[in-house]
């Protein structure tokens, strides 16, 4: 019997959960717990961390998991590394559902950097209005450039004071091209700092930056251990031994 564990939290993971439920595959959907009001899923759902590699391995054994699908955010590196190690310890097949990264195209003004520290270093010294589209866990390093005016966008309102004054937008994607254009124009955004998440749900800001000729400091994805990786729900369903009937 197949019993899958979906490490989720992304739009792709939700699409996968819907397809798994339609196929009546026994599965558990896991949220990391960072979002206060996560979207409902058509599968039994757990919320919160596992307690490291050993905790995840214990969960796999306890729940009799036969397949693990890592459909977390491309920058959820710790969870992805834990999944590789826990699956190796338990002998459980692992696959990653990972959207392709964005690639620089004509008209894009990207400054590509390796991590958040390098992104801070790439900011100009002259004061400017910055849109930090990087998630609340990664904003603290920007305190070293206090001369800038920052706009942040979160899914949930911040629970604790931010490390610097900022214009905070509370909104859940996906975001539209027209909406991102309006955001950047009305707030006078001059620079954007983004993570190379890939996919369509967060791409609108990159397209809007191209239209406006704005520089984008693009943070590369973290390096992860070697693992089986695919880019579509259909490929995951085939890996699970079921035909995909997307849209049925």
Look over the chain and give the mean of its residue pLDDT values, rounded to a whole number: 92
- CA–CA distance, 98 with 60 (Å, rounded to integer): 21
- pLDDT tens track for 10-40: 989 999 999 999 999 999 999 987 666 677 8
- CA–CA distance, 145 with 164 (Å, rounded to integer): 10
Contact (Cβ atoms closer than 8 angstroms) between residue 227 and residue 96: yes
Tally of CB atoms within 10 A around 47: 12
In sequence order, the 6+-apart residues with CB closer than 8 A to the CB of 40 are: none
pLDDT given for residue 22 in this prediction = 96
Above 50 in pLDDT, residue 248? Answer: no
- pLDDT tens track for 101-119: 999 999 999 999 999 999 9
Contact (Cβ atoms closer than 8 angstroms) between residue 133 and residue 205: yes
pLDDT given for residue 151 in this prediction = 96
Within 13 Å of residue 74, how many CA atoms lie on the same side as its CB?
Answer: 22
Above 60 in pLDDT, residue 82? Answer: yes
Which domains, from first to last, does the chain contain?
A: 4-100+223-240 (3.40.50.720), 110-219 (3.40.50.720)
pLDDT given for residue 7 in this prediction = 97
Crossing angle of helices 52-62 and 77-90, in 10° steps, is 50
Tokens of 40: 């409902």
Strands (DSSP E) along 15-154, which ranges? 26-31, 45-47, 67-70, 94-97, 109-113, 129-133, 149-154
Contact (Cβ atoms closer than 8 angstroms) between residue 238 and residue 228: no
pTM reported for the whole predicted model: 0.87
Give SS3 for 42: coil
Burial category of 170 from C-beta neighbours within 10 Å (exposed 0-12, middle 13-18, buried 19 and up): exposed
- pLDDT tens track for 116-155: 999 999 999 999 999 999 988 889 999 999 999 999 998 8
Give SS3 for 1: coil
Contact (Cβ atoms closer than 8 angstroms) between residue 139 and residue 116: no
What secondary structure letter does DSSP report for 97? E
């Amino acid at each position: 019997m197949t019993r899958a564990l979906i490490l989720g939290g992304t739009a792709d993971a939700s699409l996968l959960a819907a397809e798994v439920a339609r196929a009546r595959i026994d599965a558990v959907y896991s949220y990391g717990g960072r979002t206060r009001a996560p979207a409902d899923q058509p599968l039994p759902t757990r919320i919160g961390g596992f307690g490291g590699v050993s905790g995840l391995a214990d969960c796999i054994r306890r729940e009799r998991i036969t397949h693990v699908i890592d459909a977390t955010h491309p920058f959820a590196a710790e969870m992805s590394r834990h999944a590789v190690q826990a699956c190796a310890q338990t002998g459980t097949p692992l696959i990653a559902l990972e959207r392709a990264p964005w690639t620089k195209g004509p008209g894009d003004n990207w400054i590509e950097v390796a991590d958040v520290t390098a992104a801070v270093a790439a900011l100009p010294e002259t004061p400017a209005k910055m849109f930090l589209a990087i998630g609340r866990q990664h904003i603290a390093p920007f305190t070293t450039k206090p001369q800038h005016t920052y706009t942040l966008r979160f899914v949930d309102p911040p629970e604790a004071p931010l490390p610097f004054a900022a214009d905070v937008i509370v909104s859940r994607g996906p975001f539209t091209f027209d909406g991102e254009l309006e955001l950047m124009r009305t707030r006078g955004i001059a620079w954007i700092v983004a993570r190379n998440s890939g996919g369509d749900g967060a791409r609108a800001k990159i397209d809007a930056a191209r239209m406006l000729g704005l520089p984008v400091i693009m943070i590369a994805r973290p390096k992860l251990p070697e693992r089986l990786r695919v880019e579509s729900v259909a490929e995951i369903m085939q890996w699970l031994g079921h035909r995909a009937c997307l849209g049925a």
